[in-house]
Amino acid sequence: MAMSMGGGGSNMSEINVTPMIDILLVLLIIFMVIVPVTPKGLEALVPQPPKNPQQNNTPNDRTIVVQVLYHPGQVPSYMINDTVINNGVGGPAADQALLQQLSSIYANRAERVMFVKGDDDVNFATIADVIDIGKQANVDHIGLMTPKIQAGQ
């Protein structure tokens, strides 16, 4: 409601903001309902400790652990469980050999889970390359192993 003060006799018009605030609140409620409530994130898998401690000595053929070993001044080498993949060969040839081994391992598997374990001095870019190679070999779930997980704590 506008009031005119003074003697001009002319009408003074002001914008009524109450309907604009109503529209703003309705739009705010609409956008709050539209935005999905559940956040999406990365799925993380960690190896579980064995339920029976006596079974620690038996190798599990289902668990595939790719180890990235650091050698000072040389290219990192790869091991799948206890098998050395590239003996002194580095670069694309080692990556190709790892891809071939992983492809042959996961060719007929229904459960495609792989764990990657790296030495402390290995650059994470090398670990990321191993994860990419695992994805190329059609591995569905890739987990990272840390010393705490490996100790079973």
Split the chain (153 residues) into runs of 10 and give each run's mean pLDDT: 57 81 92 74 70 54 82 81 73 82 86 87 86 90 75 52
**Which pLDDT score is estimated for 96?**
87
pLDDT at 89: 62
Q: Rounded to two decimals, what is the model's pTM?
A: 0.57
- The whole-number pLDDT of residue 59 equals 47
Torsion, CA 65, CA 44, CA 99, CA 61, rounded to 10 = 30
Tally the C-alpha atoms within 13 A of residue 124's C-alpha that lie toward its C-beta. 2
pLDDT recorded at residue 52 = 66
The contacts of residue 100 (CB under 8 Å, 6+ apart) are: none
Alpha helices in 35-146, H assignment, sequence order: 92-105, 124-136
Contacts of 76 by beta carbon, 8 Å cutoff, 6+ apart: 68, 69, 70, 90, 119, 122, 126
**Triad 84, 87, 92: Cα angle to 5°:** 100
CATH topology of domain 53-151: Nucleotidyltransferase; domain 5 (3.30.420)
In the chain, domain spans:
53-151
